[in-house]
Amino acid sequence: MLKRNSIFIGLLFLLAMLAFANPLAAQQSKESAEAERAANAAKVLTAIMNIPENAIPDELMARAHAIAVIPHVVKGAFGFGGQWGKGLLSQRREDGSWSAPAYVEIGGGSFGLQIGVQAIDVVLVFTDEDGIRGLLKGKVKLGVDASATAGPVGRKAEVGTDILLRSGAFAYSRSRGLFAGVSLDGSVVGMDDSANRKIYGNEVTGEQILLGKSVRSNPTVEPFLHELQKASPPHVHEKKVTQKS
């Protein structure tokens, strides 16, 4: 009898542990997807900046107001229905440092994918507040809410004021090892607050992450932030001296 009771108590204890562990495992599984996303974005940025002749110009990175990296943007079913992808974005603070990264997503429009290419990595470099203002409130349509153009390439390439004035955002793509500027007109970039809540807390939004000082970086997004700081070291951000007419 005593042996039966011991077995019964043991089974109850095991069931209780499983009930506790399952939600924890499910949460860890959800977070692992976001961690992989941050790691992939970091790898994309590293790979791009490690090729001097094809990298984003240092001058442009130094002037960056915000940078988004969206790995593995894919075509819709059978090549129709636009494209979609998910990545991370960080905004430079007034003291020149980078904010904790917010999770973002991109969709719609034509990304100019090469024939036969099913996926590309996308990098967006925003050079002024206009390009990101709408995004902070939820989403921004490139070419409509914010001007965007294919960015120049080459680490040492000069970026004249006239180029900066033509666009508040510069877009790049990488596919099959090839890196170039790309047009993203018609594409919509928005906050992925479902992912932001998983990583930063139930009540946290993308706007709070990028603008508020209370939201801190964490181990999940740290790989991306680390690579961003290497690609565009913290400094006092230079505002454009000439305003758009």
- Quick one: pLDDT band at residue 40, thresholds 50, 70, 90? very high
Which range has the top average pLDDT, 4-8, 55-59, 175-179, 241-245? Answer: 55-59
Q: Return the structure tokens found at 207.
A: 């706007």
Domain membership flag for residue 76: yes
- Quick one: pLDDT band at residue 245, thresholds 50, 70, 90? very low
Domain membership flag for residue 21: no
Domain membership flag for residue 137: yes
pTM of the model: 0.78
Domain membership flag for residue 104: yes
- CA angle 105-111-115, nearest 5°? 130
Burial (Cβ within 10 Å: 0-12, 13-18, ≥19) of residue 238: exposed
Taking 90 as the threshold, does the pLDDT of residue 14 lie above it?
Answer: no
Identity of residue 13 = F
Domain membership flag for residue 217: yes
Cβ neighbours of 197 (radius 10 Å): 15
Rg of the chain over all Cα atoms, to the nearest angstrom: 21
CB 124 within 8 A of CB 228: no
Q: What is the pLDDT of residue 242?
A: 41
Provide the mean pLDDT of the chain. Answer: 77
What domain range includes position 220? 48-231
Q: How many domains does the chain have?
A: 1
Higher pLDDT, 219 or 31: 219
Domain membership flag for residue 10: no
Q: What is the pLDDT of residue 160?
A: 60
Q: What integer is the mean pLDDT of 193-203? A: 92
- DSSP single-letter state for residue 77: G
Q: What is the pLDDT of residue 9?
A: 53
